[in-house]
Amino acid sequence: MYAQMVKSENTDNGPELDAFQVRIDAGEKIEPKDWMPAGYRKTLIRQISQHAHSEIVGQLPEGNWITRAPTLERKAILLAKVQDEAGHGLYLYCAAETLGVSRDELTEMLLDGRMKYSSIFNYPTLTWADIGAIGWLVDGAAIMNQVPLQRTSYGPYARAMVRICKEESFHQRQGYDIMMKMAQGSDAQKRMAQDALNRYWYPSLMMFGPSDKESVHSAQSMKWRIKINSNDELRQKFVDQTVPQAEYLGLTVPDDNLRLNPETGHYEFSEPDWSEFFEVLNGNGPCNKERLEARNKAWDDGQWVRDGMMAHARKKAARAAASQVAAE
Amino acid sequence: MSDQNTSPRTEWPLWEIFIRGQHGMSHRHVGSLHAPDAEMAIKNARDVYTRRNEGVSIWVVEAEKITASSPSDKGPMYEPSQSKVYRHPTFFDIPDDVGAM
Amino acid sequence: MGDHLFEFLLRQGDNTLILSHRISEWCGHAPIIEEDIALANIALDLLGQTQMWLGLAAEVEGAGRSADDLAMLRDAWDFRNSILVERPNGDFGQTMMRQFLFDAYHVELLNRLVSSADERIAAIAAKSLKEVEYHVERSASIVIALGDGSEESHARMQAALDDQWTFAGELFETDAGDHALNDAGIAPLPSELRAGFNARATAVLGDATLIIPETTFAHSGGRSGKRHSEHLGHLLTQMQWLQRAYPGATW
């Protein structure tokens, strides 16, 4: 997901912790000033900022096609969508900031590699069909996770997710719409669409992270209601939803083992190559280097702008104070 | 990461954004953002939170300047960790009708 | 008159199209998230205006072309945008200086076009004006903040102004077609917009503690289409890539 492999820590004990758990179990929202276990706070900071980082880095693969969008309307839609992602990053950073970290600190941890973002954004967008595939598959996978997170236990996070889910409702549809046009288009467009599905299918399955049935981290996060479903559960739901959509497009999911189990009503499918997933997380994905370089460049090149505007704000405040003194 | 070690930290302050829509409702908290000063905070709020619809009124308050009540009556285990809501931007409910403004 | 009108509409639509394209290049790369979002809003506004201007241009031309055809299938010499907007973004300061210079012209123009004798033009101008009034307010604030800000930001903004000032003059170039449209009450003479532009530029750049270059020289060749810069061709190779590579495909 946008937050993958988040380590959950629990170091607190005692009556506070018990009372805290009672509140969570009762479905109460935890708010910034409420007592919370240090582990809950730390885990949330990790998870929310990883999600925020993913939105910000996620601007890049799609932004890669804004200047090449095929029509004025497609360009406007794509630009609006990538802009939404920046907005969602902003909302999520704000939610993380309620936990006592600053956005600049989090940004620096992304830029020097101390914090991660979703593996999916380290894959390249090579054709216009990739923009369709990302909307359809990547946003589709993200929604699986984000909808339940609207009910997460931490108030600011839940409220950010509500806003995000509302704004994202058009993202998956625009992706599917691109795919439909391509699938109904010329032979070259059909090939492009199939190629995009081939390349994005397994990376999309990886977004949910490896199976976490046995994971203590996941168990703790679920107990705290900062993780609502298991990775396998969400992955299965995604496959069940996506395969018929691919069939409607006349595209083939690149998995020879894919079949509908009539007894369970669920699709059986091949696992992605998890060694590739871990390589990508460790910095060896196709675009890790480019993505971090681009973000670092934007941040470094922007330093004088942020500093300059702050310097002006201080001067202006000083001038206002001085003229007030003069008037008195 | 050119000169982050030499230049002083200059993170833009955090602002809480309150917006009144067109229907005569009171201002409501919609979220937060960073801006160098109040004037830019209002502009950023227009861009981030209203997509610049006409006819809305925006209030911005520096987060640091807000004093909040403590979550008092919930017993000793909920001691306030801070007396201000600095960096508590999404402290308030986001109204459902914000998206339509 | 038809030719003059078509030319006029291309000038509007090409300015907004090319500037929108340039600003959209910032998406994901701006100095801070808030600016990233704000820049995208400006690009989106200008793109929407492009659809209206080029849509009307296509209608006026009556040759069966669409706004998309005009954007995606003309070569550089058929574009009528001023050179200012096709120049590469440079740093954020250059982008914002270019934006301010264009906005300051744009708002003067639209203020006049809202009372155009051609109702279609008046309607597009009315919708655009609301957006552009905000654009100029925002770009002016940033130019002032960065000009007045730190030593480095001041130096960069002065360099940006020195670099771009001679490209702003073309916006006010006036030819026979402009006179014909002015006589028909359709559009003002670009030269008439200069005074309002100068007043705003002088005030804003003064607050920004920047010095306007003394030269009266103005680059030219974009709005007439006679000689664009080399940059436009490269911009078009990106923008038009899919339409050129897969002729006739639907997207």
pLDDT of B55 above 80: no
Q: Are residues B44 and C137, on separate chains, in Cβ contact within 8 Å?
A: no
Q: Are residues B39 and C138, on separate chains, in Cβ contact within 8 Å?
A: no
Nearest CA in chain C to A82: C27
Which residues of C fall within a CB distance of 8 Å from A181? 250-251
Type and span of the H or E element at C11 = helix C2-24
pLDDT at B86: 34
CB count within 10 Å of CB C6 equals 20
Tokens describing residue A211: 């199976």
pLDDT band with cut points at 50, 70 and 90 for residue B80: very low
pLDDT at C2: 79
Judged by a CB distance cut-off of 8 A, whether residue B73 touches chain A is no
Digit-coded pLDDT (tens) for A116-159: 999 999 999 999 999 999 999 999 999 999 999 999 999 999 99
Digit-coded pLDDT (tens) for A78-124: 999 999 999 999 999 999 999 999 999 999 999 999 999 999 999 99
pLDDT at B1: 38
pLDDT at A1: 66
**Residues A178, A131 contacting (CB under 8 angstroms):** yes
Strand pairing class (A259-260; A267-268): antiparallel
Q: Are residues C34 and B39, on separate chains, in Cβ contact within 8 Å?
A: no
Q: Where are the domains of chain B?
A: 14-66+73-98
Which residues of B fall within a CB distance of 8 Å from A112? 1
Residue C251 lies in a domain: no
C42: distance to nearest CA of chain A, Å? 11
Question: Above 0.90 for ipTM, yes or no?
Answer: yes
Please state the pTM of the whole predicted model.
Answer: 0.92
Looking at chain A, the whole-number percentage of residues with pLDDT higher than 70 is 99
A266: distance to nearest CA of chain C, Å? 33
Which residues of C fall within a CB distance of 8 Å from A303? 31
Q: Which of A59, A72, A189 lies nearest to residue C67, judging by beta carbons? A: A72
Residue B20 φ then ψ, to 5°: -110, 125
Rg (CA), chain A: 22
**Residues A153, A226 contacting (CB under 8 angstroms):** yes
Residue C94 lies in a domain: yes
- Rounded to whole angstroms, the Cα distance separating B63 from A64 reads 35
**Residues B40, C140 contacting (CB under 8 angstroms):** no
Q: Looking at residues A153-180, what average pLDDT do you find?
A: 93
Q: Are residues C138 and B51, on separate chains, in Cβ contact within 8 Å?
A: no
- Rounded to whole angstroms, the Cα distance separating C26 from B75 reads 51
Type and span of the H or E element at B57 = strand B57-62
Q: Are residues B46 and C134, on separate chains, in Cβ contact within 8 Å?
A: yes
**What's the CATH code, domain B14-66+73-98?**
3.10.20.520
Nearest CA in chain B to C133: B52
Residue C250 lies in a domain: no
Residue C43 lies in a domain: yes
pLDDT at A327: 82
**Residues A5, A281 contacting (CB under 8 angstroms):** yes
pLDDT of B24 above 70: yes
- Rounded to whole angstroms, the Cα distance separating A279 from A285 reads 6
- Rounded to whole angstroms, the Cα distance separating A53 from A57 reads 6
CATH number (domain holding residue C213): 1.20.1260.10
Judged by a CB distance cut-off of 8 A, whether residue C153 touches chain B is no
pLDDT at A326: 84
Nearest CA in chain C to A56: C28
| Helix axes of A187-206 and A155-183: crossing angle, nearest 10 degrees | 150
Q: Looking at residues A65-76, what average pLDDT do you find?
A: 98
Nearest CA in chain A to C251: A181
Judged by a CB distance cut-off of 8 A, whether residue B40 touches chain C is yes
pLDDT of B100 above 60: no
pLDDT of B8 above 60: no
- C interface test, pick of B14, B44, B53, B58 with most C CB neighbours within 10 Å: B44
pLDDT in tens, chain C (251 residues): 779 999 999 999 999 999 999 999 999 999 999 999 999 999 999 999 999 999 999 999 999 999 999 999 999 999 999 999 999 999 999 999 999 999 999 999 999 999 999 999 999 999 999 999 999 999 999 999 999 999 999 999 999 999 999 999 999 999 999 999 999 999 999 999 999 999 999 999 999 999 999 999 999 999 999 999 999 999 999 999 999 999 999 99
Judged by a CB distance cut-off of 8 A, whether residue B14 touches chain C is no
Digit-coded pLDDT (tens) for A271-320: 999 999 999 999 999 999 999 999 999 999 999 999 999 999 999 999 99
Residue range of the domain that includes C84 = 2-245
Type and span of the H or E element at A317 = helix A288-327
Cα angle vertex C18, ends C17, C24, to 5°?
90
CB count within 10 Å of CB A295 equals 21
What is the per-residue DSSP string for A155-190?
Answer: HHHHHHHHHHHHHHHHHHHHHHHHHHHHHTS-HHHH
Domain count, chain C: 1
Which residues of A fall within a CB distance of 8 Å from C25? 66-67
pLDDT at A3: 79
pLDDT band with cut points at 50, 70 and 90 for residue B31: very high
Residue C134 lies in a domain: yes
More confident residue, B70 or C22: C22
Which residues of C fall within a CB distance of 8 Å from B40? 141, 145
User: Which stretches does DSSP call E strand in chain A?
Assistant: 259-260, 267-268
Chains near C (3 or more Cβ pairs under 8 Å): A, B
